[in-house]
């Protein structure tokens, strides 16, 4: 039974609030007057910033900012914003009494009296240095993972390429020998043309491989999807077994997207390698791309997206395996065949790019992976075309 006085809202005396604020140690909670001078100070503020109440009350809150932020007028700007808009939020370095710095998340809210007059500002600051460090570490690990994945992909690609280079050299050598022994100028001309063509193809291939391998740091730029697909296809063709057909369904134009081109190529290769691995003997891989307007049906996304689709006629994914495929290190492949990192990379990339990845799979029939990436601003596209 709930007693009646629990349902009423008892009036809490002001000193109880004071006690509550005072006992919070994870947040610095204090008040400023409208000029930015400290009026009250809680235990959390003392713990986080290192000053006792009697050392800071009456002093301007710019005391907690770095000299550079002060020189740039950051404290005043925050104060002005809070006074004008009722609230201001900030994230940045703050300085403790001992001179050490911490990464703070801070909110400044205007407090008004019953008549609507501003009486001061409530300042709540949290030390989120640990959180920021973990985010930075995560970024570093992502970059390392990308490198590792790239090496793996290069390994997979070069096997096929070596074979292809050998074919080109065979064409070059045999054409050269034939040309040396030929008398007919037209025939010699034809042989030389074969040599030039094979040499040209070799150069294109090395260019594509080098531009993929060289790509090191994350570099978001405007990417034309069709060009990127063509380059990826150029690389992949050589590492597909001959009994797997690679079909393409592409429109004549696609709007550009803003991503890291190297990562996108890596992601497409991951999807294509998975499709290849899922086909036991002969089969098809279909690669398609189109523009779609989403209204929330894919992970709540709205707007214009380029959808890259990789569909295979492979083994499909069992329903009990499906929920796990995006987990890092999850693989159903034999030791040495899979690392289980491909799809987690794809997932991370899709999220980071404000897009999504979706999967449809029927056991025994095949799998379709769709990667959605937001199109860039069409206005800017038109400028690019000019
Ligand atoms: N196209 C596909 N068809 C069938 N299974 C797939 C497909 N793509 C991914 N999978 C499943 O998801 C798992 C994880 O894929 P991934 O993260 O790329 O790691 P890996 O390819 O190294 O195993 C694969 O081991 C496989 O079981
Ligand atoms: Mg894979």
- pLDDT band, residue 379 (cuts 50/70/90): low
Identify the pLDDT of residue 206: 81
Q: Is the CB of 79 under 6 A from ligand 1?
A: no
255 CA to centre of ligand 2 in angstroms = 28
Q: Which residues pair with 370 in a beta bridge?
A: 309, 358
Q: Which region, left, alpha or beta, applies to residue 240 given φ > 0 means left and ψ of -120 to 50 means alpha?
A: beta
End-to-end CA distance of the chain: 75
Q: Is the CB of 346 under 6 A from ligand 1?
A: no
Burial class (CB in 10 A: 0-12, 13-18, 19+), 356: buried
Report the pLDDT averaged over residues 22-51.
Answer: 94
Q: Which residues pair with 361 in a beta bridge?
A: 367
291 CA to centre of ligand 1 in angstroms = 26
Quick: pLDDT tens for 187-207: 999 999 999 988 988 887 787
Identify the pLDDT of residue 350: 92
Identify the pLDDT of residue 216: 61
- pLDDT band, residue 14 (cuts 50/70/90): confident
Residue recorded with tokens 């007919």: 184
Quick: pLDDT tens for 80-109: 999 999 999 999 999 999 999 999 999 999
Share of the chain above pLDDT 70, in %: 93
313 CA to centre of ligand 1 in angstroms = 14
Sheet holding 283-295, edge to edge: 244-249, 283-295, 302-312, 366-374, 356-362
Which candidate, 310, 246, 229, places its Cα nearest to that of 283? 246
- pLDDT band, residue 236 (cuts 50/70/90): confident
Among 271, 284, 343, 359, the mutation site with the greatest number of ligand 1 atoms within 8 A of its Cβ is 343
Report the pLDDT averaged over residues 46-69.
Answer: 96
- pLDDT band, residue 1 (cuts 50/70/90): very low
43 CA to centre of ligand 1 in angstroms = 52
Identify the pLDDT of residue 359: 97
Identify the pLDDT of residue 215: 63
- pLDDT band, residue 234 (cuts 50/70/90): confident
Burial class (CB in 10 A: 0-12, 13-18, 19+), 135: exposed
| Nearest CA owner, ligand 1 atom 8 | 274
Q: Is the CB of 313 under 6 A from ligand 1?
A: no
Report CA-CA distances (Å) from 217 to 115, 220, 257, 263.
Answer: 56, 10, 18, 10
Which candidate, 299, 319, 300, places its Cα nearest to that of 367? 319
- Write the CB contacts of 360 (distance below 8 Å, at least 6 apart in sequence): 367, 368, 370
Please identify every residue whose CB atom is under 5 Å from ligand 2, which is an ion: 274, 342
Which atom of ligand 1 lies at the shortest distance from residue 330's CA? 14
Residue recorded with tokens 């050490």: 100
Is the Cα dihedral 109, 101, 144, 223 positive or negative? positive
């Amino acid at each position: 039974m709930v007693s009646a006085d629990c349902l009423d809202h008892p009036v809490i005396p002001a000193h109880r609030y004071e006690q509550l604020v005072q006992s919070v140690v994870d947040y610095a909670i204090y008040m400023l007057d409208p000029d930015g001078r400290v009026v009250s100070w809680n235990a959390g503020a003392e713990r986080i910033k290192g000053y006792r109440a009697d050392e800071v009350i009456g002093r301007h809150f710019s005391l907690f900012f770095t000299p550079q932020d002060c020189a740039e007028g950051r404290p005043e700007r925050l104060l002005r914003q809070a006074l004008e808009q009722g609230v201001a939020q900030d994230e940045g370095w703050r300085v403790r009494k001992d001179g050490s710095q911490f990464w703070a998340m801070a909110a400044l809210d205007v407090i008004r009296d019953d008549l609507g007059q501003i009486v001061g500002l409530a300042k709540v600051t949290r030390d989120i240095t640990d959180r920021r460090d973990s985010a930075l570490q995560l970024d570093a690990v992502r970059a390392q993972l990308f490198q590792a994945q790239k090496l793996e992909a290069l390994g997979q690609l070069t096997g096929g390429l070596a074979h292809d280079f050998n074919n080109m050299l065979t064409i070059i050598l045999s054409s050269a020998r034939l040309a040396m022994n030929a008398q007919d100028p037209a025939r010699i001309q034809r042989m030389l043309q074969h040599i030039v063509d094979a040499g040209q193809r070799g150069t294109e291939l090395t260019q594509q491989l080098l531009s993929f391998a060289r790509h090191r740091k994350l570099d978001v730029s405007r990417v034309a999807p069709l060009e990127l697909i063509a380059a990826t296809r150029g690389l992949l063709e050589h590492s597909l077994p001959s009994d797997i057909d690679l079909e393409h369904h592409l429109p004549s134009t696609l709007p550009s997207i803003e991503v890291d081109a190297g990562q996108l190529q890596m992601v497409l290769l991951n999807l294509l390698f998975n499709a290849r691995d899922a086909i036991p003997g002969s089969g098809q891989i279909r690669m398609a791309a189109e523009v779609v307007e989403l209204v929330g049906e894919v992970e709540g996304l709205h707007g214009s997206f380029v959808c890259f689709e990789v569909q295979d006629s492979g083994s499909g994914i069992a329903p009990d395996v499906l929920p796990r495929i995006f987990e890092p290190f999850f693989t159903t492949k034999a030791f040495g065949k899979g690392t289980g990192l491909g799809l987690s990379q794809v997932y991370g990339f899709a999220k980071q790019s404000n897009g999504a990845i979706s999967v449809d799979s029927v056991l025994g029939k095949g799998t379709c992976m769709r990667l959605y990436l937001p199109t860039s601003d069409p206005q800017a596209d038109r400028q690019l075309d000019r």
